[in-house]
Structure 1
Amino acid sequence: MEIRNILQEMNTSLASRENAAKILIGRPRLIQDAVSLLNENETKLSIKALYCLEILARKDIDLLMDQLKHLTHYAKTSENSSANRCLAKIFSLATEKDSLAGKTSYLPSEIKESIMETSFSWLIREESIAVKVFSMQTLWDLRCENDWIAAELKAVLQNDFPGASAGYQSRARKILRKLNHEFSDKI
């Protein structure tokens, strides 16, 4: 079954997205084809591909490891909020796995750098709350990669906190507590 057929049959319900993702499991060529669709100008299929890839990442982020470079490249130019939400969740799952890996890094440094740049970009520009929340978590997970990440993340969150939505404030509060705890431990 071709990826276009799978995605055309898929709707936005969770059950439908999960069924499409199940078809892709164990079929790296279909996963690659889904990622390749992102470079085409078919927005509806691209969004459906990302919906499916996000579910795949939730099941096992390792299934997308070979495609992260392409996903980070696509994220740099994506202006679609739905696409960015899916990408932000995928990046959050990847960086969470990397941070849990400890000294053995899960992600290559160029992927981490690209995810970090994109996450900061999403955090400071006009984006949906979900994209910003996933970006906060991603940057928290990447804070040890460069000394300045934690300080910049803290500054952005403190600056945006007063006028932000309740969802933004809730996640920002949790991350700010962790950041403040880390900063006080270093003193």
Structure 2
Amino acid sequence: MNLLYNNLKYINASRQARLQAAELVLANKPLFPGLLKICFMVEDKVSVKACWVLEFVCKKNMEWLLGDIDYFIENIHKIKFDSAVRPIAKICEMLCCEYFGKNDSPVKKILNTSHLQKITECCFDWIINDEKVAVKAYSMQTLYLLGKEIKWIHPELKKILEIGFSSHSAAYKARARHILYQLNKN
């Protein structure tokens, strides 16, 4: 973990640097549990960089996260740095896209009701709280998907989006408009 931690200390936010760090982990699966632990060292700014890398690793190989899904889900609410919340929200969206997707996915076998409830709680917190637009957008999409199974979500999501619509940025409004259209179609 020390080697990975030291490597993460020196990466920057560029896509190339994040991808390079992710490639290191993807080439060395034993580094993955350490990466996950660093993500949730929430008082340490290096955790932000670990979250960036975790997102890239999960895009390439979501199955690695599934082995530690309980740990991941139990800790996502602890993330506090803005730059770390975005990739965690994106990973939650990716999990739900696979869970609710048409194709077979190991995610469908691993995620349980408790996991879905905790993701739901975090996403509602992220939409309601003062988070960046990207986090809110990922949360909207995730909640829309979750609402297909958890029936009370869609009415609550619709209410929150309608109330907050006028007070947010153009990017927020664009995503909210899309989600509201989907909700009204059903």
Query: How far apart are 1:141 and its partner, in Å?
Result: 1.2
Structure 1 pair 62/101, CA: closer, same or farther in 2 (3 Å)?
farther
Rounded Cα–Cα distance in structure 1 between residues aligned with 2:172 and 2:104:
31
Structure 1 pair 6/152, CA: closer, same or farther in 2 (3 Å)?
same
Are 1:127 and 2:128 an aligned pair? no
Are 1:73 and 2:77 an aligned pair? no
Could you list the per-position Cα deviations for residues 67-104 of structure 1 after superposition, in whole angstroms to 9, with x for gaps in the alignment? 33323222212221111111001111111111105797
- TM-score, length basis structure 1: 0.88
Partner residue of 2:97?
96
Amino acid at match of 1:27: N
Amino acid at match of 2:23: K
> Which deviates more from structure 2 when the two are superposed, residues 50-59 or residues 32-41?
32-41
Question: Residue 43 of structure 1 aligns to a residue in which SS?
Answer: coil
Partner residue of 2:176?
172
> Which deviates more from structure 2 when the two are superposed, residues 28-37 or residues 101-110?
101-110
Partner residue of 1:82?
83
Query: How far apart are 1:26 and its partner, in Å?
Result: 4.9
Q: Is this contact kept in 2: 1:34–1:49, CA < 8 A?
A: yes
Rounded Cα–Cα distance in structure 2 between residues aligned with 1:179 and 1:40:
37
- TM-score, length basis structure 2: 0.89
Structure 1 pair 61/84, CA: closer, same or farther in 2 (3 Å)?
same
Structure 1 pair 131/4, CA: closer, same or farther in 2 (3 Å)?
same
> Which deviates more from structure 2 when the two are superposed, residues 107-116 or residues 88-97?
107-116
Structure 1 pair 103/176, CA: closer, same or farther in 2 (3 Å)?
farther
Query: How far apart are 1:6 and its partner, in Å?
Result: 2.6
Structure 2 unpaired stretches of 5+? none
Q: Aligned to 1:137, which of 136, 141, 148?
A: 141
Structure 1 unpaired stretches of 5+? 183-187
Partner residue of 2:155?
151
Amino acid at match of 1:54: E
Are 1:34 and 2:35 an aligned pair? yes
> Which deviates more from structure 2 when the two are superposed, residues 99-108 or residues 170-179?
99-108
Query: How far apart are 1:15 and its partner, in Å?
Result: 0.7
Partner residue of 2:16?
15
Amino acid at match of 1:131: V
Partner residue of 1:185?
none
